[in-house]
Amino acid sequence: MLDERLGQLLQAAVPHEARVAVLLVDIRRFRFVNETIGRQSDDNTIRECARRLRESWPEQDNVGRIASDRFALLLGEFDNESELLLAIEQTVISTFQTAFTVDGHTFSLSAVAGIALFPEDGADVDTLFKNAEAALVQAKAASEPYVFYQPQMNARMAHTLLLESKMRGALEHEQFVLHYQPKVRTHGARIAGFEALIRWKDPDGGLVGPGEFIPILEETGMINEVGLWALRRVLRDQAEWRKRGLDVPRVAVNVSAVQLRRRDFTEQMRSLLANNAGQALDIEITESLLMEDIEGSIEKLEEIRDLGVKIAIDDFGTGYSSLSYLSRLPVHALKIDRSFIDGMLRANENMSIVSSVISLAHALKLKVIAEGVETDEQCRVLQELECDEIQGYLVSKPMPADEVARMLQQNALAA
Ligand code: C2E
Ligand code: MG
Ligand code: MG
């Protein structure tokens, strides 16, 4: 019926060149209600949402429920944009500011909306709904209460879908590769270890960096498989270096939030390491992730540390570490985020942050590694500040496994 309604509104709008708005509204956290207070209350909650939406929307008959927790709202022939904006703000934001009380339970919900306008965003019912949905997806991704459709949105959704299917292919056809970047001691410049950084060998192009595809892998859960692949690959490369008679360096692998949250992550690590005697595998975890579920992290990381794995906190300084927890985390190093090193010689605040992080780490008996060191000057200052290790283009860019072998060979000859 709502489809028909929209058809009528469009027809009526054409002669006076009027505009029509289509809103798709999702109720956030609705599943939470479903899971915690049960099905019956769930129906009552939806009724209450429907009542509130109808009461605050200027055209009560143009409100319909189109899926479990999704509503469509139409506004025919509005006069100006501020009238529309006011209606949206009231319906999507104000209406949900009062808590819900359903069957004795009190909780709050919020709404999120995507909006498409006739005629600019589509000339027919289907196109308007499709584009309002693209805007809704965007609103959710950006955590905005509402977003207006923009022409690029469908292109972006198509791009994401294409990348997702390419990632499945990449996993199947082993198109991922690991490059290794050395970390060296600030004093004496000896290699302290390597970090493994993933790349995708796109058959249609060159090497694609992780920034482009890790978010998609995380969203789809594929990161679990790819992350496991990376850990296995490192163990295989280390075995290869060992076979060539080289001194096998420790290698750190970046572990995603999604992987660490899995209940069986420690088990995965345990079985990987059980089959690989004499391993030298470490992990890096970003600061923001650790602080998300601190008690859970401590427990898991203790088990992992007991397997002989060293743990570093990556991108340190960009999250919001609680200092009292920092001392309880079973980690062995902090990696100062590249942005501070980059700005260190330009802004005093950055210099203070770098020097404070180094003192803090040493007070907690942790090692400090500076990321993204590009100049001799940065290196000299870090030496003065007694930073333990540096990593960055100044020493070397990330390189393929056989170049690592060559580097290790030269190092052995030089020693
Ligand atoms: P990260 O772990 O903080 O890695 C450091 C990033 O800085 C790498 O980018 C590295 O190539 C780059 N870098 C190193 N030295 C310099 C320098 O001197 N100057 C500049 N401008 N950049 C430098 P990359 O390889 O693009 O990786 C980006 C991020 O992707 C990594 O940040 C890490 O969080 C993530 N990542 C990489 N590999 C994996 C993986 O196997 N699994 C997961 N979950 N994440 C990964
Ligand atoms: Mg890292
Ligand atoms: Mg980092």
Pocket test for ligand 1, best of 183, 197, 228 (most atoms within 8 A of CB): 197
Q: Is 254 in the pocket of ligand 1 (CB under 6 A)?
A: yes
- Write the pLDDT tens digit of every residue in 59-103: 999 999 999 899 999 999 887 888 899 999 999 999 999 999 998
Instruction: Give the residue whose CA is nearest to atom 42 of ligand 1.
Output: 254
Atom of ligand 1 at shortest distance to CA of 217? Answer: 44
Q: What is the pLDDT of residue 278?
A: 67
Phi, psi for 107 (deg, rounded to 5) = -155, 170
Q: What is the pLDDT of residue 30?
A: 82
Q: Is 164 in the pocket of ligand 1 (CB under 6 A)?
A: no
| Ligand 3 centre distance from Cα of residue 338 (Å) | 7
Among 295, 229, 215, 299, smallest CA distance to 257 is for: 215
Q: Is 15 in the pocket of ligand 1 (CB under 6 A)?
A: no
Question: Does the reported pTM lie above 0.75?
Answer: no
CA dist list (Å): 170 to 111, 159, 179, 212, 287 = 37, 16, 16, 14, 29
Q: Do residues 388 and 188 touch, judged by C-beta distance below 8 A?
A: no
Q: Is 122 in the pocket of ligand 1 (CB under 6 A)?
A: no
- Write the pLDDT tens digit of every residue in 354-380: 999 999 999 999 999 999 999 999 999
Given a cut of 50, the residues of the chain with pLDDT beneath it are none
Q: Is 197 in the pocket of ligand 1 (CB under 6 A)?
A: yes
Atom of ligand 1 at shortest distance to CA of 394? Answer: 18
Phi, psi for 118 (deg, rounded to 5) = -95, 135
Q: Do residues 73 and 23 touch, judged by C-beta distance below 8 A?
A: yes
Atom of ligand 1 at shortest distance to CA of 337? Answer: 3
Ligand closest in space to the Cα of 337: 3
| Ligand 1 centre distance from Cα of residue 197 (Å) | 6
**Per DSSP, what are the bridge partners of residue 312?**
284, 333
Q: What is the pLDDT of residue 105?
A: 87
**How buried is 153 (Cβ within 10 angstroms: 0-12 exposed, 13-18 middle, 19+ buried)?**
buried
